[in-house]
Amino acid sequence: MKILIAVNHSYPHVGGCEVVTKHIAESLVKDYGHQVTIISGTTQREFEHNKVSYIGMHNTYKLFSDYINSEKFDHLFVYSDYFKYWNEILNNFNSIKTNVSIALVGMNQMLAKRELFNKFRTLKDKIKVITHSNNYIDYKMCNKYNISVSVIPNGIDIEEFNSNYSVVSSRITKEENSPVLLNVANFFPGKGQDHIIKIIEILSKKHDINPTFVQINSKTDLGISNLLRDKYLNLLSQSNKFNAYMFSNLTREQTVAFFLMSDIFLFTSLKEVAPVVILESMAAKTPWISTEVGNVSTLQGGIIIPSGYDAHGNVNFNGMIYNKFAEEISNLWRDRDLYNSLKDKGYNDIVSNYSWKNIVKEYNVIFKKSR
C-alpha cells in the first residue's frame, strides 16, 4: 500500500505527535512493506529517513489534494483534527480520491467548531476513526453520536532505551543525595510547566529535599509558545533559587539519555489524551508522578495526583495539588522499596503492552480494511 500520513509537525522536530507518526510510519515500512510518506508543516526540504519519505506541506488545499490524487495514495491518515487542512478535507471530501482515517488526538478543534463536528458526523461511515484512549472526550463523543471508533494507544520503541546516559551526564550538576526531576513538554497552552516551580519550592521548604530539575522542550515559531516560555523563565527567576536547567532542541539520543539519567518524571499537564512522555519514562525505568489526565490511570509505574477540573475539563491546580505532588515526590524518593517496585512495574507494562510492533499491527488492519 501507498500511505500518506498528514501531520502539522514531524520528525526531526521533537514532540509527541512527531514521535508517534515517526514510529507508525517506520513500522508500516519495516514490518508490512508499505510505501509511506509523511507530509508536515515543519519539513523544510524533502528527505528520507529509515525508508520513510518526508515532504513539506503545500501552501493551499488544492495543491495538497492534487498531490494526493496525482500520487495515487491508497490511504490518507490524518494525525489530529488540528491538521492544517482537516476543515477543507471535511468540506470537500469528494475531492480526495483515496481512503481516509484520522487519529482524533482529543478532537479539540471539532468540539470548538460545532459546524465542523456536524460535518464530520455526516461522513462517519466514510472515515476510519481512531482514539488513543477510551477515557477522553473524543472517544465519549464518538460513542454518543454512534461514530465507530478504534482505540489504539501510543507505543514505545523499547530498543531506544537500551543505552546509557553518558552523552548528557556532564551537562548538569546535581545535589548530592537528592533526586533529578525531569519534565519533557513543549511550551503549549495547558502543559503546566510553571506549576513545577511551586511544587519544588514546597518540596524544599516542607520536605527538606533540594532536587535538580531538568526541563526539556523544542523551540517553535509559535507566538504563544514563546510567551509561555518567557513566563516560565520569569517565574523561575523570581522563585527561591534551586538547581534548574532548561534544554531546547536536544537530539533524540540526548532526550532519551535524560529520561535514563533522571530519578522521577513529573507531569503537570492540565489536559491530555495519551501522553507519550509517560510511556518513555516507564521504558527508562523512571517512576512518574502525574496529574489525573487522559489514559494515565491505565498505566503502571507511577503515582497519580487526584485532580479537580474546571468547566473546560482542565485540571484545576490548587494548594492541595501542589502539596500532594511535593509529598509524593518525597515519599517516592525516600521509600526505595516503593521506588524499585514502580520502576519494574512500569517497564514490564511497556514490554507487555506498548511496543510499537504490536500497536502498529492494529493500524495496519484498519488501513487494509479501508481498501
Mean pLDDT to the nearest integer, 175-181: 90
Q: What is the pLDDT of residue 277?
A: 95
CATH for 158-353, options being 3.40.50.720, 1.10.287.470, 3.40.50.2000, 1.10.10.10: 3.40.50.2000
pLDDT band of 371, cuts 50, 70, 90: low
pLDDT band of 71, cuts 50, 70, 90: very high
Q: What is the pLDDT of residue 256?
A: 93
The sign of the CA dihedral 213, 219, 225, 226 is positive
Q: How many CA atoms lie within 13 A of 211 on its CB side?
A: 28
Domain 2-155+355-369, CATH homologous superfamily name and number: Glycogen Phosphorylase B; (3.40.50.2000)
Is there a contact between 270 and 314 (Cβ–Cβ < 8 Å)?
A: yes
DSSP class of residue 92 equals T
**Non-local CB neighbours of 213 within 8 Å, separated by 6+ positions:** 180, 181, 182, 183, 196, 200, 242, 243, 244, 245
**Non-local CB neighbours of 272 within 8 Å, separated by 6+ positions:** 293, 294, 296
pLDDT band of 86, cuts 50, 70, 90: very high
pLDDT above 90 as % of the chain: 77
pLDDT band of 312, cuts 50, 70, 90: confident
The reply to whether 2-155+355-369 and 158-353 are identical in fold is: yes
Residue/partner pairs of 317-324 with CB below 8 Å, 24 or more apart: 317/192, 317/195, 317/268, 317/270, 321/291, 322/195, 322/198, 322/199, 322/202, 323/202, 323/206
Mean pLDDT to the nearest integer, 270-280: 92
Is there a contact between 326 and 203 (Cβ–Cβ < 8 Å)?
A: yes
pLDDT band of 221, cuts 50, 70, 90: low
